[in-house]
Chain A
Amino acid sequence: NAGVTQTPKFQVLKTGQSMTLQCAQDMNHNSMYWYRQDPGMGLRLIYYSASEGTTDKGEVPNGYNVSRLNKREFSLRLESAAPSQTSVYFCASSDDPGREKLFFGSGTQLSVL
């Protein structure tokens, strides 16, 4: 029962470097999400995918791209990392889009120097 698995758990980047955060869920959920958590700001939605083959912008999409590779996997890419993207990133999934009961991964701590 892995649930939602994120890799890596920690990452340090230099400004301008690129990287992809990976996320996979084994609950056969249709919807997947990427959030970032910053102190005092709660969780803010970056991108989401309501179903395989669809993606939509959330509240803070600038500087990010996503790919819904298949029903299980939803990746987040930073093309040119900036210090403002230093944050904790959470992937989540849901099979209850009307109620948004989300299942979260354990997060990726990203530092951009």
Chain B
Amino acid sequence: DQQVKQNSPSLSVQEGRISILNCDYTNSMFDYFLWYKKYPAEGPTFLISISSIKDKNEDGRFTVFLNKSAKHLSLHIVPSQPGDSAVYFCAAKGKAAGNKLTFGGGTRVLVKP
């Protein structure tokens, strides 16, 4: 049973518009959440993270929102650029020491020029 789910396997958006990626989790013990970005033939790279004590974290064009009551987080990319075309993974970590990251299945984003 997947504890972290990304229900949209793909997303297509026009350049300059907003991309919204969603992620749902089931484990209430998760206390730290991250987004990774992956280009073809490369390893994932860290994008942005958020602690469960916050509900928003912003870094340039990227903003992550956390809704703990709904066990939902989202990644907003504004404005979207063609270079943002990639697969995005959300990941979550539990509070207990030694808990490792649990990843979602990924969302492929295509930004059209």
Taking the complex as formed, is A45 at the interface, i.e. its CB lies under 8 A from any CB of chain B? yes
Q: Are A43 and B100 in contact (CB under 8 A)?
A: no
Q: Which segment of B38-46, B58-66, B75-83 sits at the interface?
A: B38-46
Q: Are B49 and A90 in contact (CB under 8 A)?
A: no
Chain A's interface size range is: 20 to 34
Q: Are A106 and B101 in contact (CB under 8 A)?
A: no
| Chain A residues numbered 13-54 whose CB sits less than 8 Å from any CB in chain B | 33, 40-45, 48, 50
Contacts of A33 in B (CB 8 A): 100
Quick one: CB contact mask for B30-59 with A, threshold 8 Å, 1 for yes? 001010100001111110010000000000
Q: Are B43 and A104 in contact (CB under 8 A)?
A: yes
- Given contacts A40-B9, A100-B93, are A107 and B43 in contact (CB under 8 A)? yes
Q: Are B100 and A42 in contact (CB under 8 A)?
A: no
State the CA gap A7–B14 with chains docked (Å): 37
State the CA gap A100–B2 with chains docked (Å): 19
CB-nearest residue of chain B relative to A39? B105
Q: With contacts A100-B91, A100-B100, A103-B46 known, what are 20 further pairs, Cβ within 8 A?
A: A33-B100, A40-B105, A41-B105, A42-B4, A42-B6, A42-B89, A43-B44, A43-B91, A43-B103, A44-B103, A45-B100, A90-B43, A100-B34, A100-B93, A101-B34, A102-B44, A104-B43, A105-B43, A106-B42, A107-B43
10 sampled A-B residue pairs with Cβ under 8 A: A43-B89, A43-B91, A44-B103, A50-B98, A58-B100, A59-B102, A100-B93, A100-B101, A101-B49, A106-B41
